[in-house]
Structure formats: C-alpha cells, structure tokens
Amino acid sequence: MTGKKITPANLAGVMPPLPTPFDAQGELAVECLRENLETLSRFGLTGFVILGSNGEYVYLEESEKLAAIATARKSIPSDKLLVAGTGAESTRATIRLTRAAAENGADAAIVITPGYYKNAMTGDAMVAHFTAVADASPIPVILYNMPAYAGIDMSVETILKLAAHPNIIGLKESSGNLVKISELVQGVEERELDFAILAGSASFLLPTLAVGGVGGVAALANIAPQQCLDIYNYFRNGHLVEAQQLQLQILAPNAAVTTRFGVAGLKYAMDKLGMYGGAVRPPLLSVNSSAASEIDGIVESLNRLK
C-alpha cells in the first residue's frame, strides 16, 4: 500500500486494463509487463488496471498475481494509479487477495462479482459480499460489473446501496446499458454520494461521460491510448463534435479487441504495435490467420487516426 488517499475524484480519466504477458514457456513475463507499463506511462493516463478480464486473472495463480502487482508498482510513476483486480469466488479469498494486493503496492482494488452460484447471487448476497470486502480492505474498492463474463448483472439499487459505503469509491460498468448508467448517475446525485462511474469499454466512453460518468477503463487504451484520451479531453473541453467523430471512428477497432477477438486479439495488436502481447494462456486460443489479417488492417487504421 502506497499510503496515498484515493478518492472517487482520482478515478477521473482513462485507464487501460493491461493484458498479462507470458513468455515462450507460458510463465509470467514480468519484464515484458514492466516495458508495457513504461510505454503506456508516456501518455496522460490516470493509471493502470492489472489482473482484470483482459489480464486473464482467472488463469493466474495467486503468486503470479502478487508478482504482477509488485512489478507494476515499481514500473509506473507515483502520480499514476495502480488498480489491481482482487475478485475471487468466496468473500474470504477476495479479502485475502485484496489485503495482499495492498501490501504489494496497489492503490485500489477492483472487485468483480462472484458468479459461480449465479442463482444465489442476489442483491442481498452482493451487498453482504462487497460490504465485507470493503470493511476489511486497507485500500479503496471499485465495483466491477461484467455480466458478459461473470453472468451477474448488479441492479441499480444494489450498486447504490454499496456506493454509500465509505470505502467503495466507484464502479466499472461493463454492461453497456446506458439507461442503467444514467440511472446510476442520477441516483448518486440524488443521494449525494461520493462515487465515480466509469465506462467499462471505449465503445461507450463518450455516452458515459455525457450522462455524468467520470471516465473509463478501456481495453482499447492499451493500443490506442491517445485516441481514448482525446475523446475524454474533447468532451471535457466542450469540443463535442470532435469527440463524437472520434467515438464513432474507434467503434470497429474497439470491437475487434474486445467482443470479437478478445484477449488474443488485443495481445496480437500489441505485438503489431511494437509492445509485448505474446500468447494467451490455455484454454484460450491465439488468433487464427484470418483474424490476424483483419487485426493488421485495424492497426493500420489506428495509425492513421494518430
């Protein structure tokens, strides 16, 4: 734990959720993680999220997770946030990993909904789980709602109940439901809560900002950080036409490295851009030749956008 006091206001801006690099033997490649972080630190990003969905966190051993957090802490400037994914299926395991992440230098924890026993994961179960984690955590907690992967979609009322907790400072909302995001912003304002709402994808970064969100955690920011930052800065400075044009231009590239080709596509694109993507961890598969050819074209289009 760094000792910095992290508030919802500190989450404003753009953060990339970094992939976890593996070497040729499939082991954690901490040096490659360090190099990727140093490359991305040259941009005006708010911070970095590691061990998220793009970080293949469900395939990592706990020792690998802690090594990645420690490496990230040493590799990024002190003025940029280090947010570590610490979600696990049990409350007990989540608390243990969150405390360990703090000890290894994380500024905040981002915690996904546990989802194996989906039918039992009611609003009450989510409130009890996240409240226990936040009570025990020495660092602030960010909720992570990712129904496409976890199979749980927290309701507006559940999220607002949790937003009242003093150690829960924000939400990464990855459902893409803009009505829900709007209702969350409205609820936060009506209840006078200090709570930040972040878009979980670059595909709806501008709409989220337009209804009152403060930024985004976007996979695209790994390969197009400046374009994501430009959308944010255009909006903040009132250049709405420019923001809209760029938002539309990044839709296809974003889809390619998220829903269409996933982590493997993102890693391949990073390799093409001179960073280190490398292989995914099985049972994930690398992109095939057809997907690789399409991503090649997408990378060229991103270069033109620059």
For 145-194, how does the pLDDT look when each residue is reduced to its tens digit (9 = 90+)? 999 999 999 999 999 999 999 999 999 999 999 999 999 999 999 999 99
Is residue 49, in this structure, part of any structural domain at all?
yes
Is residue 84 assigned to a domain?
A: yes
> Which residue segment(s) compose the domain that 76 sits in?
8-249
Number of domains in the chain: 1
> What is the chain's mean pLDDT, rounded?
96
Assess if residue 26 is contained within a domain.
Answer: yes
**In this predicted structure, what is the pLDDT of residue 128?**
98
Domain-embedded: residue 278 = no
CATH number (domain holding residue 177): 3.20.20.70
- Confirm whether 292 is domain-assigned: no
The answer as to whether 238 is a domain residue is: yes
167: its two tokens: 């150690």
pLDDT digits (tens, 9 = 90+) for 238-271: 999 999 999 999 999 999 989 999 999 999 999 9
30 falls within a domain: yes
pLDDT, tens digit (0-9, with 9 covering 90-100), for 74-117: 999 999 999 999 999 999 999 999 999 999 999 999 999 999 99
Q: Is the per-residue pLDDT at 1 higher than 80? A: no
Residues acting as catalytic residues: 172
Residue 271 lies in a domain: no
